[in-house]
Amino acid sequence: MTASILFFVLASVAIAAALGMLISRNPVNSALWLILNLFCVAGLYLTVNAEFIAVIQVLVYAGAIMVLFLFVIMLLNLSVLPDLKRIEWRRIIAFIMGMGLLAMLMFIVANTLDMVPDPVTLQVAAETGSATSLAKVLFTQYAMPLEVIGILLLAATIGAVVIAKKKPV
Amino acid sequence: MEITLNWYLTLSALLFSMGVIGFLFRRNAIVMLMCVELMLNSVNLSLVALSQSMGDTAGQILVFFVMSVAAAEAAVGLALVIAIFRDKLTIDVTQINLFKY
């Protein structure tokens, strides 16, 4: 019972934070709402006993990535808020059609696979979410993708520095 | 009331569509990047819920890699935003029309 209450509280705060991110006009407020959303999703990971992913979520997402976002927002120092424009119907139609396609695809996939979701009871799943069991497969079965991800991060770091560097005039 | 996998997948779909809404309707490039992060995050949520309900670690390994790629994407995207701001003095995506003409 407490688990379901926890789920609903975290889920509603996550949705409210996502809405707040969408409708706040100042990008700093958007970033802060997104951080709240990321924390709530980390809490949801804890409700399914995925402790390692929850910790990584807080460290990497709410910590590193959002600090980067806030840093760039403050670096650019956009004091002038953009004016509100009229609603663009083209984008609304694009959104509705895209969501319709997504719903159709999800319906077809769910129908074909005949997925009957299990209840997330997860006394059994406690060990699959721990850092120990994840590290065992990460450094044996998935060692090669891990190395590739390392190279990708190095390339992204160098690329970011090169792109953001001031061009020599 | 038992919380089933359906609830997690529904929440994930809701957060994903909110990210899509933001990406389509916001004009600030940084907020658009944040909406991409929201979408990646909702996919992570569904992956973790599915992985835990099946008792399989593969989904969570995939989430780990998705987070790394998201970090790389944020770094490069924000560098692009800085480069564009240096050139155009705006990050409004309707003003950035280098390829338009």
List domains and CATH numbers for chain A.
2-164 (1.20.120.1200)
Question: Quick one: average pLDDT of A60-87?
Answer: 80
Distance CA B52, CA B59 (A): 8
Give this complex's ipTM: 0.91
Q: Does B48 touch chain A (CB under 8 A)?
A: yes
Q: Is the pLDDT of residue B97 over 90?
A: no
Q: Is the pLDDT of residue A124 over 60?
A: no
Tell me A119's DSSP state: B
Give the mutation candidate from A1, A29, A51, A69 for the B interface (greatest B CB count, under 10 A): A69
Question: Quick one: average pLDDT of A92-119?
Answer: 78
Judge whether B44 and A38 are in contact, CB under 8 Å. Answer: no
Number of Cβ within a 10 Å radius of residue A7: 20
Distance CA A49, CA B38 (A): 22
Distance from CA of B80 to the nearest CA of A (A): 6
Give the mutation candidate from B12, B34, B40, B61 for the A interface (greatest A CB count, under 10 A): B34
Question: Which residue reads 């980067």 in tokens?
Answer: A68
Tell me A130's DSSP state: S
| Residue-level pLDDT at A128 | 76
Taking only the tens place, the pLDDT of each residue in B5-49 is 888 888 998 999 899 889 988 888 899 999 999 999 999 999 998
The pTM assigned to this predicted structure is: 0.85
Judge whether B23 and B35 are in contact, CB under 8 Å. Answer: yes
Q: Is the pLDDT of residue A148 over 90?
A: yes
| Residue-level pLDDT at A129 | 77
Map residue B23 onto helix, strand or coil. helix
| Residue-level pLDDT at A167 | 74
Judge whether B45 and B59 are in contact, CB under 8 Å. Answer: no
Q: Does A49 touch chain B (CB under 8 A)?
A: yes
